[in-house]
Amino acid sequence: MALAIDIVTLFPGFFKSPLEESLLEKAQAKGLVRIRTHNLRGWTHDRHKTADDKPFGGGAGMVMKPEPIFECVEEVGKKAWVILLDPQGEPMSQTLAAKLARKKHLVLIAGHYEGVDQRVKDHLADQEISVGDFITMGGEAPALCLIESIVRLIPGVLGNKESVRHESFQSGKLEHPHYTRPREYRGWKVPEVLCSGDHQQVALWRHHEAERATRRKRPDLLK
């Protein structure tokens, strides 16, 4: 059964091009995943289609109203796992992507402005996820990152299963360096071991290089 992903957003046009390109487009064409976007303004109740309002207590910015978010999610995502993209959420990781890829139905809420009404977090979202310790214009770009990280793990999406097995973070380390033709470029040569045909030595070299890259760039992963 295909994974279903519904995106709740004020800006559905943001997703049009990315969802129609490369592996995301192919995964949908193969029936491996179904992705739909929903314009939150379709669940507003006034002629101006107001989806945000001033915060109680004063302060800068606007806050997304709870009514359209609740009603949209309840209509499109019954029994779905509801995720709010929020900078206060759980950090996104490869492990988390693998868990979400095994779900049957995901609803992603892309917040905007100063965020969503707290009641959405308290009573609707099953999980809050952050893609990093930085702030974006809204939750659309983080939602797209989440979708890419999840969909590529669905069996049949990537042409080579080995691509997932050996990539960065999958084994707790960064991935080893990659080289391709030409064998020498501007005096920089491909390591001889990679051209030796000795698969055991190549595997050993890749293991050591992955550890070295991790210690140099991301020593926190080794802890």
In CATH, what number is assigned to the domain containing residue 208? 1.10.1270.20
Closest of 69, 116, 108 to residue 88, by C-alpha: 116
Q: How far apart are alpha carbons 166 and 169 in whole angstroms?
A: 9
Name 153's Cβ contacts closer than 8 Å, sequence gap at least 6. 97, 98, 101, 164
Tell me, yes or no, whether 109 and 43 share the same domain. Answer: yes
| Residue 31: per-residue pLDDT | 97
Segment-wise mean pLDDT, segments of 10 residues, the chain, 223 residues: 95 96 96 98 96 94 97 96 97 96 98 94 98 94 98 89 54 90 96 97 96 94 85
Q: Determine, yes or no, domain membership for 158.
A: no
Number of compact structural domains in the chain: 2
Q: What is the widest separation between alpha-carbon atoms in the chain?
A: 70
Whether 116 and 83 have beta carbons less than 8 Å apart is answered as no
**89, 119, 151 — which closes off a domain?**
151
Same domain (yes/no): 108, 180: no
User: Domain end: 98, 120, 151, which one?
Assistant: 151
pLDDT tens string 120-166: 999 999 999 999 999 999 999 999 999 999 999 999 999 755 555 55
With beta carbons less than 8 A apart as the criterion, state whether 120 and 84 touch: yes
Assign residue 49 the CATH number of its domain. 3.40.1280.10
Instruction: Identify the pLDDT of residue 169.
Output: 55
Please confirm whether the linkage preceding 191 is cis (ω < 30° from 0): no
Same domain? For 133 and 81 the reply is yes
- Which pLDDT score, from 0 to 100, does residue 159 have? 74
